[in-house]
């Protein structure tokens, strides 16, 4: 793909400086960029790299000197760079020739929208509905009665079980499993008896689900992933969980059953939450932390069990001083023992 710099500038609604007719064929970081690529500077620590980068053009913020290179000046260089990435990545990653590959298997009463692509060896069960412009890549399984919206992208080896509902513009990466049985067993006479999981999974618009992530179906109602939420690779969402809008869950996060996350909750890698609790909106859970009780909106949590982040930092600071404090504590113990011995000595007789 090739675009003139002035065309990119128009799409970004920025201010152009330099030759707008140069052709841009790709996007790269400021240190790796080649003369036919565009890059950006959003972090002040990379300003010095403007003088040495080979990039053909740079996206910069207000008040930044482009050092004589062609630039596009915008209010938010990082967001503008994301938009440029979309321009160059769309054809390569998302577009596919519409139609059903001869090796794909479609069940009865399957409804396909316009320009849908069903690629090799995909299996689409009975009564499935797939919206316009959605791409189903090879070796995908879609169970009976599932509904997938428009403009979606389902990567290879994704398994979507029966009666699942997926919204528009949803991206699901390789190996993800949507609608697997929730982990429910009833202990009777020292044995675990499976509880049928007859609920469903609902994934709203603009959600992205990472590779090998699993989202379990509810026992009775629905496991719900709300609009705009992004799940990283290897995330586990248990049955009956509700994830709010615009949440971000990093790799290896685990959310136990029947827990509710408010809108815009961020959980860092290897963090998680126990079951049957509520984590309020705009909360942040730091890496390797586990929430074990209800937490209000705006909480910043870390540790195990998770507690307010500033409190956890103070605990860690105190813990690091233990090697120094223990010898002092031993000395104090010895002095106390000596004082107690003196107090207990009998008085001299006259």
DSSP 13-25: T-EEES-TT-EE-
- DSSP class of residue 48 equals G
| Pairwise CA distance, residues 226 & 273, whole Å | 18
Residues 218, 232 contacting (CB under 8 angstroms): no
| Pairwise CA distance, residues 206 & 209, whole Å | 10
| Pairwise CA distance, residues 246 & 234, whole Å | 19
H or E segment and range at residue 39: strand 37-40
- Report whether the peptide linkage leading into residue 305 is cis, meaning its omega lies within 30 degrees of zero: yes
What does each C-alpha distance from 131 to 112, 152, 165, 231, 243 come to in angstroms? 6, 8, 12, 22, 24
| Pairwise CA distance, residues 349 & 273, whole Å | 69
- State the catalytic residue, choosing from 157, 192, 239, 276: 239
| Pairwise CA distance, residues 145 & 164, whole Å | 7
Active site residue 157: no
| Pairwise CA distance, residues 216 & 213, whole Å | 10
Write out the two tokens for 265. 């909750």
Cα of first residue to Cα of last residue in the chain, in angstroms, is 108
Alpha helices in 42-155 (DSSP H): 77-93
Residues 91, 73 contacting (CB under 8 angstroms): no
Note the Cα 254 to chain centre separation in Å. Answer: 12
List residues with catalytic annotation: 239
């Amino acid at each position: 793909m090739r675009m003139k710099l002035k065309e990119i500038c128009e799409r970004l609604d920025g201010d152009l400086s330099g030759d707008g007719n140069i052709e841009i064929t790709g996007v790269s970081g400021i240190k790796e960029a080649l003369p036919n690529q565009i890059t950006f500077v959003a972090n002040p620590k990379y300003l010095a790299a403007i003088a040495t980068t080979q990039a053909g053009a740079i996206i910069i913020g207000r008040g930044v000197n482009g050092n004589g290179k062609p630039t596009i000046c915008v209010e938010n260089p990082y967001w503008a760079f994301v938009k440029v990435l979309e321009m160059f990545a769309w054809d390569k990653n998302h577009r596919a020739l519409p139609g059903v590959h001869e090796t794909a298997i479609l069940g009865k009463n399957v409804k396909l929208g316009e320009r849908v692509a069903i690629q090799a060896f995909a299996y689409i069960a009975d009564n499935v509905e797939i919206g316009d412009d959605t791409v189903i890549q090879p070796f995908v399984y879609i169970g009976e009665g599932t509904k997938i919206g428009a403009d979606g992208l389902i990567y290879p080896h994704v398994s979507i079980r029966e009666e699942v509902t997926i919204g528009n513009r949803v991206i699901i990466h390789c190996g993800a499993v949507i609608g697997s049985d929730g982990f429910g067993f009833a202990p009777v006479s020292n044995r675990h008896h499976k509880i049928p999981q007859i609920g469903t999974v609902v994934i709203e618009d603009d959600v992205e689900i990472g590779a090998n992530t699993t989202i379990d179906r509810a026992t009775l109602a629905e496991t719900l992933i709300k609009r705009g939420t992004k799940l990283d690779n290897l995330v586990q969402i248990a049955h009956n969980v509700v994830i709010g809008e615009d949440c971000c869950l990093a790799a290896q996060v685990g959310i136990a059953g029947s827990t509710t996350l408010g809108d815009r909750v961020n959980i860092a890698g290897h963090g998680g939450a126990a079951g049957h609790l509520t984590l309020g909106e705009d909360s942040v859970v730091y890496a390797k932390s586990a929430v074990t009780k209800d937490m209000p909106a705006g909480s910043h949590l870390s540790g195990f069990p998770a507690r307010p982040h500033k409190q956890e930092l103070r605990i860690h600071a105190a813990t690091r001083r233990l090697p120094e404090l223990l010898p002092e504590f031993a000395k104090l113990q010895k002095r106390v023992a000596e004082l107690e011995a003196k107090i207990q000595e009998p008085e001299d007789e006259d």
